[in-house]
């Protein structure tokens, strides 16, 4: 069913992954230029892939097990994206390329929280269906 709470969580995760990347900058260079995810094809692809996976997960409501697996894959994808950001922020020494880290680097964390809440709700639905099946 589309009117479940996990749909709202997945829509929020898709909104964070696809919408906020164009609003919040990832970092600021020494020249004062804001760098967004759309400026690097790798980050843009990972963010949009995460948003697309969230939208696909919403419409897999008839098969809760695959919906749960897709949610886990999306969490792994966001951890990979977060790993790229941590590597970038730890690998650059001093003021060579990045002057200031932006709030956009924390978007995968927000997306992971929404995806974890959605998976929790999917698991709760699956447990409810299993308990009803036992009564029959």
Quick check: is 103 in a domain? Answer: yes
- Domain that includes residue 29, residue range: 5-128
Quick check: is 133 in a domain? Answer: no
CA atoms within 13 A on the CB side of 125: 20
| pLDDT digits 0-9 by tens, 67-125 | 999 999 999 999 999 998 888 877 665 555 556 777 888 899 999 999 999 999 999 99
**From edge to edge, which strands make up the β-sheet containing 98-101?**
34-35, 27-29, 98-101
How many structural domains comprise the chain? 1
Quick check: is 112 in a domain? Answer: yes
Neighbours of 38 (CB within 10 A): 13
Quick check: is 9 in a domain? Answer: yes
User: Which alpha helices (DSSP H) does 1-136 contain, by range?
Assistant: 5-18, 41-58, 64-91, 107-135
Quick check: is 134 in a domain? Answer: no
Quick check: is 135 in a domain? Answer: no
């Amino acid at each position: 069913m589309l009117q479940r709470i996990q749909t709202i969580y997945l829509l929020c995760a898709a909104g964070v992954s696809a919408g906020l990347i164009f609003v919040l900058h990832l970092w600021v260079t020494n020249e004062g230029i804001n760098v967004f995810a759309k400026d690097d094809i790798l980050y843009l692809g990972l963010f949009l892939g995460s948003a697309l996976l969230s939208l696909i997960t919403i419409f897999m409501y008839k098969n809760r097990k695959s919906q749960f697996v897709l949610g886990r894959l999306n969490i792994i994808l966001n951890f990979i994206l977060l790993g790229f950001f941590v590597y970038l922020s730890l690998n650059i020494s001093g003021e060579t390329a990045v002057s200031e880290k932006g709030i956009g680097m924390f978007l995968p964390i927000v997306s992971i929280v929404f995806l974890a809440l959605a998976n929790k709700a999917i698991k709760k639905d699956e447990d409810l269906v299993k308990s009803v099946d036992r009564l029959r």
